[in-house]
């Protein structure tokens, strides 16, 4: 009899935890997402939606059993910046957002991500920006908008200069034009590398340890002194040397 009671208690705890996670990951964000314009490009960060997003990120990482090792934060200077990183998995943005949450990052992301149910509206409200594939005019507009977010001290901006996820884990060529964001905003470029996120899906439900490292910071002066294309090649080679591929 006592084993049955213990089993029922354990089942109740599991169901209770699941209900709480569902409430904070789905129901509450879904409700407040109704107040977000799905077509608007926001230029003001929201502390409320940012807090809501951080809860979603933590729940997602908890449920995915992801453990983050974050290094190099002491290299980041005060003030806003442009963050660049390699891109291996759909987990990259949430790992980066969780590890660097104190910096209020606004990501430049593919258009489809901002159309996701519930989650898409939340990230849109914290100034995430959609990038339309093969639309040069729209890309220029996003670069200018991102620079303005930084200059207005609303957010630091994160972008993947490869332009897409690398399914082979090899570092793809950079689109140097995105570095113009830092040049226009007159801020440093923080260079990071991420590893291990590509293993999360295959290892689940086992724990996956992922690594996010800040490897360099390019000063605003140095960033402005070079052509964005040349700077992109330099940073690509530096990132490649660290990743060893």
% pLDDT > 70, the chain: 92
**Residue 64 belongs to domain spanning:** 2-243
The CATH number of the domain holding residue 213 is 3.40.1130
CA distance 86 to 156: 17
Could you give the dihedral angle defined by the CA atoms of residues 132, 133, 138 and 140, in that order, rounded to the nearest 10 degrees? 120
Please give the mean pLDDT across all residues of the chain: 91
Query: Regarding predicted confidence, which is higher, 158 or 6?
Result: 158
pTM reported for the whole predicted model: 0.91
Overall domain count for the chain: 1
Confidence at residue 156, expressed as pLDDT on a 0 to 100 scale: 97
């Amino acid at each position: 009899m006592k084993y049955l009671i213990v089993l029922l208690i354990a089942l109740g705890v599991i169901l209770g935890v699941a209900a709480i996670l569902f409430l904070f990951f789905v129901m509450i964000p879904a409700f407040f997402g109704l107040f977000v314009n799905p077509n608007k490009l926001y230029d003001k960060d929201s502390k409320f939606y940012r807090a809501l997003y951080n809860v979603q990120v933590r729940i997602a990482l908890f449920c995915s059993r992801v453990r983050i090792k974050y290094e190099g934060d002491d290299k980041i200077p005060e003030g806003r910046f442009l963050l660049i990183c390699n891109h291996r998995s759909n987990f990259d943005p949430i790992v980066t957002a969780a590890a660097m949450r104190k910096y209020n990052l606004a990501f430049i992301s593919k258009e489809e991500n901002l159309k996701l149910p519930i989650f898409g509206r939340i990230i849109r409200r914290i100034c995430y920006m959609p990038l339309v594939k093969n639309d040069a005019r729209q890309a220029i507009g996003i670069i200018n908008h991102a620079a303005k977010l930084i200059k207005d001290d609303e957010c630091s901006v994160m972008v993947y200069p490869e332009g897409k996820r690398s399914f082979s884990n090899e570092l793809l060529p950079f689109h140097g034009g995105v570095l113009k964001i830092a040049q226009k905003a007159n801020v440093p470029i923080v260079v990071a590398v991420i590893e291990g996120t590509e293993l999360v899906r295959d290892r689940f439900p086992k724990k996956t340890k992922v690594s996010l490292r800040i490897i360099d910071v390019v000063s605003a002066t140095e960033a402005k002194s070079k052509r964005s294309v040349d700077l992109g090649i330099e940073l690509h080679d530096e990132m490649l040397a660290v990743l060893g591929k």
